[in-house]
Amino acid sequence: MFDPNLPQAGTEIDAVQMRGQLNGLKTLIDAVPTLTAAQVDSTTTLPQGTPANASVNVVGNKLHFSFDIPQGQEGTQGVMGAQGPPFAQAVVDAVNTVDANSPAAVSVSFDGSNVRFTFDIPRGFEGAAGEVSQAQLDSAILNSLNGTSNNTNGIGTLDTGFADPPTLADLEALRQKMNEVILNGRR
């Protein structure tokens, strides 16, 4: 094991002691990890006037950095640039279907009065065939229908006029028709 106090000043060099010191140093050097990568874990903006800070840690064979950087002073307003030409409208020149593995893309140009767009949209990947059998489809449709209300086409309309003010008989006819609608809507 390495001892930083050996050899002591004014003593003769002992071969065994010196060999132990050198072997101890080699063990320490061998324990230093081999760094294979570096990664910035965070960058934090601090208030103006705060001191900057950086920290580094070794995790496995990777250096991990964190930075704390203060905001600078706000600069002066720049000169206003020249105004660009006005345009009348945006025009989509084309929408192209590209291979499923291709990235989506858009190109834009300006012809002096119109902004022109061309879109490249990848087609979707083809799904596996035969995932749903006809029996499964029929069952799903039937289950969906069972969750809906009955058709009200069989309920007659209430075409009779009512007296003004409505009579007890008018209100009874209305009550019966409402019950017919409600009961027909149930499954």
pLDDT at 87 over 80: no
Q: By residue range, what is the domain housing residue 111?
A: 89-122
Q: Is the pTM of this model over 0.85?
A: no
Q: Evaluate the CA torsion angle 161, 166, 167, 173 in order and state its sign.
A: positive
Higher pLDDT, 127 or 50: 50
**Sorting pLDDT into bands at 50, 70 and 90, what band is 142?**
confident
- Cα distances (angstroms) measured from residue 96 to each of 78, 100, 115, 140: 41, 12, 18, 36
Percent of the chain with pLDDT over 90: 24
Answer yes or no: is 14 within a domain: yes
Specify the number of domains making up the chain.
3
> Domain check: are 39 and 66 in the same one?
yes
Structure confidence by residue, pLDDT tens digits, 145-166: 776 666 677 778 878 788 888 8
Main-chain dihedrals φ then ψ at residue 146, nearest 5 degrees = -65, -20
- Among residues 121, 76, 78, 74, the alpha carbon closest in space to that of 102 is found at 121
Residue 77 DSSP one-character state: P
pLDDT at 183: 80
